[in-house]
Amino acid sequence: MSLLMLYKGLHIAFMVAWFAGIFYLPRLFVYHAGNQSAEVDAIFKVMERRLLYFVTPFAVLTLVFGLLLIYNYGAAWFKASSWLHYKLLLVMFLYAYHGYCFKLLSDFKHDRNQKSPRFYRIFNELPVLVMFAIILLAVMKPV
């Protein structure tokens, strides 16, 4: 087995694990924002914190193995792969999205959330759309 294939497999596996959390966390925010019970509020705070801190290492490992892939393919390949440059722009958006989740988590933790459940429903759909675009770019390599 080549190191390149190992890196690719780990990159995909960690990406799937990361996305599982990125898809679920905003759904928790939807329910949390609509909640009126102090007891349930405390449960949501714990669940959200644990989930975000659980999936953050997967986000880091996705990045590490993605960079190892780029390094192993080489600079000439990277320069010629325009599709990858678009993919990386979308990936940067996902990392910003992930970082923004920490801000939202803090707002809930300190009872400062001002956003509606509807906002979080829309927020929840963004990574799905970005993931589709990333996968299509990686599979089709259109440009």
pLDDT at 22: 96
pLDDT at 143: 73
What residue numbers bound the domain in which 130 lies? 3-140
pLDDT at 86: 97
pLDDT in tens, the chain (143 residues): 699 999 999 999 999 999 999 999 999 999 999 999 999 999 999 999 999 999 999 999 999 999 999 999 999 999 999 999 999 999 999 999 999 999 999 999 999 999 999 999 999 999 999 999 999 999 999 97
Tokens of 45: 């705070």
C-alpha–C-alpha distance, residues 132 and 124, integer Å: 14
Please count the structural domains in the chain. Answer: 1
In the chain, % helix, strand, coil (3-state, to 5) comes to 85, 0, 15
Look at residues 43, 21, 35 and name the one whose alpha carbon lies nearest to residue 117: 35
pLDDT at 65: 98
